[in-house]
Structure 1
Amino acid sequence: MPAPSQYLGRRLAAFCLFLLLGVLGCAPPAQAGIANAPGANLEVSLITYGPGDTYWERFGHDAIELRDTASGEAFTFNYGVFDFDEAGFLLHFARGSMHYLMDAAPSDIDQHYYMDVGRSVTRQRLDFTAAQAADLRDFLLWNLRPENVRYDYDYYANNCATRVRDALDKALGGTLKKQLEARPARMTYRQQTARLMSQQAWLMLILDLGLGPYADQPLNAWQESFLPMVLQEDIRSVSVASADGGAHPLVQDEQLVSANRLTPPPSEAPDLRLPLALAGLAFAVALIATHRFASTVYALLGTLYLVLAGVVGVALLILWTLTTHHSAWANANLLLFNPLACLLVASVWRSRRGAVDSRMANMLIALQLLAVLAAWLLHLLPGVVQQNQPWLLFAMPCWLALAWCMRRGAWLSGRTR
């Protein structure tokens, strides 16, 4: 949940003052709270919040709850705050160097927000030893200091869920990571992104178009736990050592604090191949039909496609070369949507009148067709292959139809002469 900078500052200042008073012993012993409670009195829970309706809430959220069983005081620590008022926030966002912050708040206040907006709230009480609970508390308080509160955000590798996961794993001595890395993930980054964004189809398509081969690498469960709901599910089967040398579940009990009242995301990622293939075929048919019967409409349709292809190509090139969005690097969709496509707009308008194409236009359209062929051939290479078949199926008929219309115009012009 994003927080304005002034509100965040007040919360951090108030919490730090509370911690200082607790550490100095200025509060009565019965109200000492989590700041200086012995580890044996600290109850550790993973709190998971279901996806929300806003696009930045679609991936869900989670937090670590520490509860002092003596005083009843409970605070949640989360890593999901960003500051719109930060200098250069939008520029940092565009470059892929976003800064997020850690936050802490009384559990009741934090959790009631999610309940009020209809998002699910689940508490998983974890079996931490007294020493592990104290270590976790000390780390979270250290992390909450002004000099440590910010971190460099990454959508998949360093987000609000991975920070929670890593803090738990640190206190557990690496047990969590060791067990989750040994399990294969159920989906890739691309599939999880498409699944969770599918209720906002336009944004899902933009994200799928912009993701490169990084998003298609095989994952293990540790990597896939960049999603709070995946971490919630996977942690159920994690075991920890007991005092007698045996093993027992990390999750002692699980409580659904508040049920979801929103439309849940689908369990599987949508298959975009057929919808985009049909869209590309329909556009190609429209180009060919209008070229024959409504040449101005053909020229407008061709211009629309070429301008969009050029703009998309420029955007993909910028993401690869000028930003740290590594999930968008080396995007094979650059072979389908070329920044040079805009140079063919004039040729489309000439071809509606049967004018002969320039040598440069002929060369550009030939290169584009070769690029589409190269994009298909990339799928024959070993290793991680970008799963961009839906965009191949969309772009191929469009480029073939444009090439046919442009060459047909030149052929008809030659026959007339």
Structure 2
Amino acid sequence: MKLKHYFFLVLFLFSINFYSQINLSQKASISVVTCGPGSELYTAFGHSAFRVYDPVNKVDKIYNYGTFNFNAPNFYLNFAKGKLTYQLSTTRFGYFLQVYRYENRWVKTQELDLNHEEVQATFNFLENNAKPENRDYQYDFFYDNCSTKIEDVIKIILQDKVTFNNNHITSNKSHRDLIADYTKNQKWGKFGIDLALGSVIDKEASKDDYKFLPDYIFYAFENATIKNDSETKPLVKNTITILKAQKLNTFKPLTYLTTPFFTILFISLIIAFLTYKNFKTKKRSKWLDFIVFFITGIIGVAVLLLWFTTDHTATYKNLNFLWAFAPNLIVAFYLLKAQLPKWTLYYFLFLIILIFFMIVVWILKIQVFNSALLTLLIVLVVRYLFLIKTSKTLA
């Protein structure tokens, strides 16, 4: 190894050791950092982190629980299986801000009203948690993420000194409702979420459950109190907007035509037109039936795999399988035959029953499906009725 490499290695190790042993000054502070949503789906919900600032010791660090390592062994396989390993990473606050300035996202800090011992204890906890042997944790989008970690850490350090109340939350929303609040401009992302996540996210969320979203952690801290000696005071001493998002003209003419609703409506109209044409000519488009059954079968298999073979807590009890029926994948090949087997008549009838059951589930809000599916459900019923009527007579 070259001499300069040794130098940088020693310097790096020294810097780690410096931070791990440093005693913060009386001017040091701990802040909760909340970042606004971005334009991409993975940034649509915002972000939360800690900031440790000490002007005397020239410490200005971000502690970020929202990072992961793409190079970890079997990363993509583990991601698909729901075994998401995230980690606490650190960086300079200035570098952190550069990213959010580039992405045009607002950043706010809430300086916590802690005494020196509490500031030092928080710093020590974060430094220890950021060590390679301690930094990894099993991520869960709703219950263990960059946002929920913020309150968890403060509760661990301050214990019964701190009180979080949820009086500021007056709505009664499900997890799906909360996701919808942040994906209004992410139509395809919202469609994918509604397709992949099950009925477990349609139950009414508790007030604590709201805190998987950084905005709600922000307000939780704004309304939290801390007790020192006999005095009870607000936990947040000072709230500052560090970055403001610039208003951009994002309007794009006719973009609604590429949304899931209009895309699926267009596909549904094609299926309806071909079905009407088949009915008038008394011929069946075998290729159309194959495509419809093959695609719905593939989607159904994906839904069941997410439900039964992964550790994703939000993909359980996904009733999208009622319209995207996995056995369709096999039946699709029978529909390439000129003469349909007799049992297919009962199979088509069963598919119609499943869709009507799905509508009942939707009305009762046992699971709320994406509204873009409505026209597709109608045309599927129409196509299945056509197949029932003609399965014995058409070639």
The equivalent of 1:257 in structure 2 is: 242
Q: How does 1:13-412 map to 2 (within 5 A)?
A: 17-21=14-18, 35-37=22-24, 40-173=26-159, 178-180=164-166, 183=169, 187-241=173-227, 243-245=229-231, 247-261=232-246, 282=269, 285-292=272-279, 298-346=285-333, 348=335, 357-378=340-361, 385-388=366-369, 390=371, 393-410=374-391
CA shift, 1:312, in A, is 0.7
Q: Are the structure 2 counterparts of residues 176 and 295 from structure 1 closer, same or farther at C-alpha, using a change threshold of 3 Å?
A: farther
The letter of the residue matching 1:325 is H
Q: Secondary structure at the match of 2:155?
A: helix
CA shift, 1:393, in A, is 3.1
How big is each residue's C-alpha offset from its partner over 1:218-274, in whole Å with a ceiling of 9 and x where there is no partner? 1233221111122123322222335443x3322222111111136699xxxxxx998
Write the distance in 2 (CA, Å) between the matches of 1:73 and 1:389: 48
The equivalent of 1:8 in structure 2 is: none
Write the distance in 1 (CA, Å) between the matches of 2:203 and 2:53: 39
Q: Are the structure 2 counterparts of residues 291 and 88 from structure 1 closer, same or farther at C-alpha, using a change threshold of 3 Å?
A: same
Q: Percent identity?
A: 21
Write the distance in 1 (CA, Å) between the matches of 2:176 and 2:132: 35
Write the distance in 1 (CA, Å) between the matches of 2:118 and 2:368: 42
CA shift, 1:169, in A, is 2.6
Write the distance in 2 (CA, Å) between the matches of 1:264 and 1:238: 37
Write the distance in 2 (CA, Å) between the matches of 1:225 and 1:13: 41
The equivalent of 1:29 in structure 2 is: none
CA contact (8 A) 2:168 2:223 kept: no
Q: Secondary structure at the match of 2:212?
A: coil
Q: Secondary structure at the match of 1:172?
A: helix
Write the distance in 2 (CA, Å) between the matches of 1:46 and 1:21: 23
The letter of the residue matching 1:152 is Q
Q: Secondary structure at the match of 1:147?
A: coil
Q: Secondary structure at the match of 1:94?
A: helix
Write the distance in 1 (CA, Å) between the matches of 2:239 and 2:339: 72
CA contact (8 A) 1:280 1:394 kept: no
Task: Note the residue ranges of structure 1 that are not aligned, 5 or more in a row.
Answer: 1-10, 25-34, 266-271
CA contact (8 A) 1:42 1:69 kept: yes
Write the distance in 2 (CA, Å) between the matches of 1:13 and 1:81: 26
CA contact (8 A) 2:164 2:225 kept: no
Write the distance in 1 (CA, Å) between the matches of 2:282 and 2:52: 69
What TM-score do the two structures reach when normalised by structure 2?
0.83
Aligned residues: 381
CA contact (8 A) 2:87 2:137 kept: yes
CA shift, 1:42, in A, is 2.6
CA shift, 1:331, in A, is 0.6
Q: Secondary structure at the match of 1:173?
A: helix
CA shift, 1:409, in A, is 2.3
CA contact (8 A) 1:276 1:393 kept: no
What TM-score do the two structures reach when normalised by structure 1?
0.79
Q: Are the structure 2 counterparts of residues 148 and 195 from structure 1 closer, same or farther at C-alpha, using a change threshold of 3 Å?
A: same
CA shift, 1:290, in A, is 3.2
The letter of the residue matching 1:359 is K
Q: Secondary structure at the match of 1:160?
A: coil
Write the distance in 2 (CA, Å) between the matches of 1:278 and 1:13: 63
CA shift, 1:162, in A, is 1.4
CA shift, 1:46, in A, is 0.9
